[in-house]
Amino acid sequence: MRLLIIEDELPMRSALVETLIAEGYRVRSAADGIAGLELACSEAFDLILLDVMLPGLDGYALCRALRQRGRRMPVLMLTAKGQVDDRVDGLDSGADDYLIKPFSLKELLARIRALLRRHEHAQALPEVLEIGSARIDFRRGTISRDGEEHVLSDKEAGILRLLATTPGETVAREQFLDVVWGYNAFPSTRTVDNFIVSLRAKLEAAPATPRHLITVRGAGYRLDP
Ligand code: CA
């Protein structure tokens, strides 16, 4: 796995490089936003660690530019304490997860592994999925059934992707929060239930008696294709 670290503070950059190499990752690094963007677009990376406050181009602008250029690799943003409100900006700019400095290396490594896993699952799935009489198009973000087309929100699409990677198996509510919302998710497991209700309305012919998006009492949800 190849990782790119974009961080201007030398001690932090060195520590990250050293830790990640020791974990077996192949690592490149950049010390400012412009060099970082250039590197991110010219070589293939599986994940980017991106500092927010950077000379040249800040992390948000860099992330947006990356997505505009069609680069879809996961981005984990690193930000200083006190910028927690910026979390939303980071996620809006196309970052996948957020970590607040100072963080433990153990947590950083766990987040990296989770993001890589998530990305791998998403890539292994076909862009179009048929479930019962419904047709889900992940590329267009739509779900159509009986001649009606509905728009899928990012979260709904994430829930379906996760269920579809393990058809017939139960996925716990906490797993949805981890994978779809990210590690430091604020929403409660009730949120997952609400999204399932809205998904059933789009997916199921009779949402009150679902045949595909099944509740597993006390455990979570299951997809029966
Ligand atoms: Ca910085």
The pLDDT confidence band at residue 182, using thresholds 50, 70 and 90, is low
Q: Which residues surround ligand 1, an ion (CB under 5 A)?
A: 8, 51, 53
- Residue 12 Cα to ligand 1 middle (Å): 9
Q: Which two tokens stand for residue 106?
A: 């153990």
Distances (CA, A) of 214 to 106, 187, 209, 217: 35, 22, 9, 9
Asked whether residue 172 carries a pLDDT value surpassing 80, the answer given is yes
- Residue 65 Cα to ligand 1 middle (Å): 18
- Residue 32 Cα to ligand 1 middle (Å): 9
E-strand ranges in 54-153 read: 75-80, 97-101, 128-131, 134-137, 142-145, 148-151
- Residue 91 Cα to ligand 1 middle (Å): 18
Q: Count Cβ atoms within 10 A of the Cβ of residue 97 and give its class: 0-12 exposed, 13-18 middle, 19 or more buried.
A: buried
Would you state the pLDDT for residue 70?
Answer: 80
Q: Which two tokens stand for residue 46?
A: 């599986």
DSSP bridge pairs for 128:
137
- Residue 41 Cα to ligand 1 middle (Å): 21
Q: What is the dihedral of CA 162, 168, 172, 178, to 10 degrees?
A: -20
Of 7-16, 49-58, 92-101, 197-206, least confident by mean pLDDT is 92-101
Determine the CATH number of domain 2-123.
Answer: 3.40.50.2300
Helix-then-strand count for the chain, H and E: 8, 12
* Interatomic CA distance for residues 76 and 100, integer angstroms: 11
- Residue 75 Cα to ligand 1 middle (Å): 16
Q: Are 3 and 25 in contact (CB under 8 A)?
A: yes
Asked, as a colleague might, if the bond just before 167 is cis with ω within 30 of 0, I would say no
By residue count, the chain amounts to 225
Average pLDDT over residues 64-85: 81
Domain extents for the chain?
2-123, 125-223
Query: Which residues in 114-124 are b (16+ Cβ under 10 Å) and which e?
Result: bbbebbeebee
Would you state the pLDDT for residue 81?
Answer: 60
Confidence (pTM)? 0.64
Asked whether residue 85 carries a pLDDT value surpassing 70, the answer given is no
Of 85-99, 139-153, 189-203, 207-221, least confident by mean pLDDT is 85-99
The pLDDT confidence band at residue 74, using thresholds 50, 70 and 90, is very high
- Residue 55 Cα to ligand 1 middle (Å): 8
Would you state the pLDDT for residue 175?
Answer: 83
- Residue 53 Cα to ligand 1 middle (Å): 4
Q: Which two tokens stand for residue 159?
A: 């829930």
Between 132 and 165, whose confidence is greater? 132
Of 81-85, 136-140, 154-158, least confident by mean pLDDT is 81-85
Distances (CA, A) of 3 to 21, 43, 139, 177, 216: 10, 11, 26, 25, 38
- Residue 56 Cα to ligand 1 middle (Å): 11
- Residue 179 Cα to ligand 1 middle (Å): 27
Same fold, 2-123 and 125-223: no
- Residue 27 Cα to ligand 1 middle (Å): 19
Determine the CATH number of domain 125-223.
Answer: 1.10.10.10
